[in-house]
Amino acid sequence: MDLLTDDDVRAILAPHVDRRGAVGRLYDTGTVDQDTTADLGALIIELTDAGRFDDADRVGKVLGYAERTGEREPVPGWSRG
């Protein structure tokens, strides 16, 4: 799973759907904004601190996806996959 698809991103973030902020916006609408990488980084730290290393690694892949994508507005049809 080197290059993530939009579906991959939604699947990885699904367990964190209740998070507010940029992670929630990315999951809900595909939005990537100035806060996305910081919020994903904070989630990675939380998961690592909880010993959830596989989950942290997957969210790390989403972080890479967000960095490659750059800032973008909500994506039409995002939630429909």
pLDDT single digits (tens) 6-56? 999 999 999 998 888 999 999 999 999 999 999 999 999 999 999 999 999
Question: E-strand spans in the chain?
Answer: none
Its domain, for residue 65, covers 6-71
Number of domains in the chain: 1
**Residues 44 and 63 sit within 8 Å (Cβ to Cβ):** yes
Asked if residue 71 has pLDDT above 80, the reply is yes
Tell me how far apart the 2 most distant CA atoms of the chain are, in Å: 36
Asked if residue 1 has pLDDT above 60, the reply is no
Give the pLDDT of residue 60: 97
Task: Decide if 31 is inside a domain.
Answer: yes
Task: Decide if 1 is inside a domain.
Answer: no
Its pTM surpasses 0.85: yes
Task: Decide if 25 is inside a domain.
Answer: yes
Task: Decide if 30 is inside a domain.
Answer: yes
Give the pLDDT of residue 14: 94
Task: Decide if 77 is inside a domain.
Answer: no
Task: Decide if 79 is inside a domain.
Answer: no
